[in-house]
């Protein structure tokens, strides 16, 4: 795995030794979950060791826990992924972006399996690494696994949004969970000049990696430096959108049509990132109908508004249905035009400022904040 990541230029030289030294499989639980069609199903090491090992060393995330450790029974909504070992190339890119050097102290938020904490400990030393995990069972397992692998890092059980004051200030904070509001504790607990690396998300778009530098005035500024998708911080999970629960009265929906190709709005990274900035509380679900046809559903689980756009490969206009107090497709369409009008800024032109009582998104420079309706 380390060789493959090196060959594809993902693993920078300073992290190569750590990746080779830390055996990922030691951190992966004996039962993991894999996708099977629309479902997640368990794979047990005792039943299929070869498959389990392959999963441990594939360049993919490994689902270590679903439904907060109490898997939903038959007939209930599909499983939700609640803990995983992140994809190796994502971990490698994030560690490179963290710019941590031996001697620096690091706070990791979201211990999960403990694999990333082990990589940090291997390079920086166990005493330099503190990791916080909200789920007690996940934290206990990671603590034990890390110790057995020879890494005496501090694994604290608790809400990582609060940081870990007993070990602050840190030189680096790395979140391995996504947030839409960056907890101010991460600024407070980082030394001026230190870095905070955060997977940042909106309801519409998941997500972007933001690399912040903490200033002396108690604020931090950051720019988008990559494209990552993480599960959310537990307290910021929001509501799940579901077709069964939220899409009804289709016959009574307001009908219109559009010539905006859904891929331009949803599939294109820079566009969907910008739409997420402007259209709050809007989740996207796509259902395929075969032959390349699909419906893109926009759902606001808070107000119950929904929209469906029916894509047919042979059409150049697409039927849109909208229901509820919001015209969600219209909002997405307007946000797309707003982004287009700005000259289609790429992700790297957006940045965030986090201050004690406020945080905002800007384009190109902090003195150019953008208006984000409803957030």
Active site residues: 86
Contact (CB, 8 A) for 277 and 202: yes
Q: Which two tokens stand for residue 121?
A: 């400990």
Burial of 255 (0-12, 13-18, 19+ CB in 10 A): exposed
| Residue 327 makes contact with ligand SAM by CB under 6 A | no
Rounded to a whole number of angstroms, the minimum distance from the CB of residue 71 to ligand SAM is: 15
Q: Does 109 bind ligand SAM (CB under 6 A)?
A: yes
Angle among Cα 19, 232, 208 to the nearest 5 degrees reads: 70
Q: Which is nearer to ligand SAM, 104 or 296 (CB)?
A: 104
Q: Give me the residue label for tokens 């110790």.
A: 147
Print the binding letters for residues 203-232 with ligand SAM: x by CB under 6 A, - otherwise: ---------------------------xx-
The least distance separating ligand SAM from the CB of residue 159, rounded to whole angstroms, comes to 4
From the list 18, 94, 132, 220, which residue makes contact with ligand SAM (rule: CB under 6 A)? 132
Per CB under 6 A, does 112 bind ligand SAM?
A: yes
Pairing, β 283-290 against β 106-109: unpaired
Region of 134-142, 163-171, 209-217, 253-261 interacting with ligand SAM (CB under 6 A): 134-142
Should residue 233 be labelled a site residue for ligand SAM when binding is judged by CB under 6 A? yes
Dihedral over Cα of 39, 42, 48, 51: its sign: positive
Q: Are the C-beta atoms of residues 208 and 199 closer than 8 Å to each other?
A: yes
> Is residue 159 at the binding interface for ligand SAM, with CB under 6 A as the rule?
yes
Name the 3-class secondary structure at 74. coil
Counting contacts by CB under 6 A, is residue 353 touching ligand SAM?
A: no
CB-wise, 106 or 274, nearer to ligand SAM? 106
Nearer to ligand SAM, 161 or 299 (CB): 161
Applying CB under 6 A, among 11, 32, 43, 138 the residue interacting with ligand SAM is 138
Could you tell me which of 120, 165, 113 has the C-alpha nearest to residue 139? 113
When asked if residue 320 is in the footprint of ligand SAM (CB under 6 A), the reply is no
Residue 135 sits in the site that holds ligand SAM (CB under 6 A): yes
Is 234 a binder of ligand SAM (CB under 6 A)?
Answer: yes
Closer of 234 and 372 to ligand SAM (Cβ): 234
Residues 70-89 within binding reach of ligand SAM (CB under 6 A): 82-86
- Judged by CB, which is closer to ligand SAM: 181, or 254? 181
Task: Please report, for residues 135, 150, 217, 279, 298, the alpha-carbon distance to residue 126 in angstroms, rounded to integers and kept in the order given.
Answer: 22, 9, 31, 42, 45
Site size toward ligand SAM, by CB under 6 A: 26
Least distance to ligand SAM, CB of residue 298, Å? 26
Q: Are 265 and 247 in contact (CB under 8 A)?
A: no
Identify which of residues 162 and 285 has a Cβ nearer to ligand SAM in the complex.
162
**What is 326-365 written as a DSSP string?**
S-HHHHHHHHHHHHHHTT---GGGEEEEE-SS-EEEEESS
CA of 91: how far to CAs of 140, 226, 245, 295, 370, in Å? 22, 12, 35, 33, 31
Backbone angles phi, psi at 342, to 5 degrees: -80, 0
- Interatomic CA distance for residues 235 and 159, integer angstroms: 9
CB of 301 to ligand SAM, least distance (A): 20
Number of H helices, E strands in the chain: 11, 18
**Residue pair 363/342 in contact by the 8 Å Cβ criterion:** yes
Q: Does 113 bind ligand SAM (CB under 6 A)?
A: yes
- Residues 243, 307: contact at Cβ < 8 Å? no
Minimum distance from CB of 85 to ligand SAM (Å)? 4
Q: Least Å distance between CB 312 and ligand SAM?
A: 37
Comparing CA positions, the residue from 115, 81, 360 lying closest to residue 234 is 81
Query: Is 115 one of the binding residues for ligand SAM (CB under 6 A)?
Result: yes
* C-beta of 26 vs 51, nearer to ligand SAM: 26
Q: Which residues of 173-194 are buried (b: 16+ CB within 10 A; e: fewer)?
A: bbbbbbbbebbbbbbebbeeeb
Candidate list 106, 120, 134, 271; residue touching ligand SAM; CB under 6 A:
134
Contacts with ligand SAM, residue ranges (CB under 6 A):
82-86, 109-110, 112-113, 115-116, 132-135, 138, 159-161, 176-177, 230-231, 233-235
């Amino acid at each position: 795995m380390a060789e493959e990541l090196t060959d594809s230029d993902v693993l920078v030289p300073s992290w190569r030794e750590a990746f080779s030294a830390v055996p990922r499989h030691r951190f992966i639980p004996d039962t993991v979950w894999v996708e099977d069609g629309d479902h997640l199903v368990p794979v047990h090491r005792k039943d299929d060791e070869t498959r389990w090992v392959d999963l441990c060393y594939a360049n993919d995330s490994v689902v270590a826990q679903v439904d907060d450790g109490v898997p939903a029974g038959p007939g209930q909504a599909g499983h939700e992924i609640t803990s995983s070992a992140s994809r190796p190339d994502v971990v490698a890119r994030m560690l490179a972006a963290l710019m941590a050097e031996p001697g620096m102290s690091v706070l990791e938020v979201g211990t999960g399996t403990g694999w990333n904490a082990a990589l940090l400990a291997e390079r920086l030393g166990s005493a330099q690494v503190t990791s916080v995990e909200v789920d007690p069972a996940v934290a206990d397992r990671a603590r034990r696994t890390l110790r057995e692998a020879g890494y005496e890092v501090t694994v604290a059980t608790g809400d990582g949004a609060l940081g870990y004051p007993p070990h602050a200030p840190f030189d680096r904070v790395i979140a391995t969970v996504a947030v839409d509001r960056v907890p101010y504790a991460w600024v407070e607990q980082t030394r001026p000049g230190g870095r905070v690396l955060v997977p940042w998300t909106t309801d519409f778009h998941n997500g972007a990696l933001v690399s912040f530098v903490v200033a002396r005035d108690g604020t931090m500024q950051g720019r988008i430096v990559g494209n990552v998708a993480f599960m959310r911080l537990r307290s910021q999970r929001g509501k799940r959108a579901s077709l069964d629960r939220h899409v009804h009265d289709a016959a009574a929906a307001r009908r219109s049509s559009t010539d905006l190709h859904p891929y331009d709005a949803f599939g294109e990274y820079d566009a969907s990132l910008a739409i997420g900035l402007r259209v709050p509380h809007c989740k996207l679900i796509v259902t395929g109908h075969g032959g390349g046809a699909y419906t893109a559903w926009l759902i606001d689980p808070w107000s119950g508004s929904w929209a469906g756009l029916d894509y047919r490969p042979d059409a150049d206009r697409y039927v849109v249905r909208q229901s509820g107090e919001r015209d969600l497709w219209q909002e997405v369409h307007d946000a797309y035009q707003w982004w287009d009008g700005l000259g289609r800024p790429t992700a790297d032109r957006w940045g965030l400022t986090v201050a004690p009582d406020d945080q905002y998104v800007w384009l190109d420079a902090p003195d150019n904040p953008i208006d984000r309706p409803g957030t």
